Amino acid sequence: MAGGRRDIYLDGSADDRVNCDVVRYGELLFVSGCGPTDERKAVVGGDDVVMQAEQVLLNLERVLRRAGGSLADVLHVTIYLTHMDEYPLVRPVRMAAFGQ
């Protein structure tokens, strides 16, 4: 496949992978490991799952923009929760980001 693999970092260095891993392969972007951390790599939201979800989606949006994309380009999202009973709290955040 033409284009090959290229890692993308928010601040231009591999040290930024704490926030998200992004790999471009041709025209495709693969993103994983987006956690609820801010620019200083501090966890946002404490035990507040809504604040954490909002931060994760903000981080995702930031890395997508850096790579030339947007949330509108996302094909699939997997959300991992410690407590599944909190999903009804996270669902509106996901819906606001993706309109689903």
Residue 73 domain boundaries: 5-98
State how many domains the chain has.
Answer: 1
Written as six digits, the tokens of 18 are 């704490």
What digits encode the pLDDT tens for the residues 7-49?
777 666 666 455 567 888 888 889 888 889 888 889 999 999 9
Mean pLDDT in the chain?
Answer: 86
What digits encode the pLDDT tens for the residues 76-89?
999 999 999 999 99
Indicate left, alpha or beta for 88 from its phi (over 0: left) and psi (-120 to 50: alpha): alpha
CATH number at residue 93: 3.30.1330.40
pTM beyond cutoff 0.85: no
CA distance linking residue 14 with residue 63, whole number of Å: 13
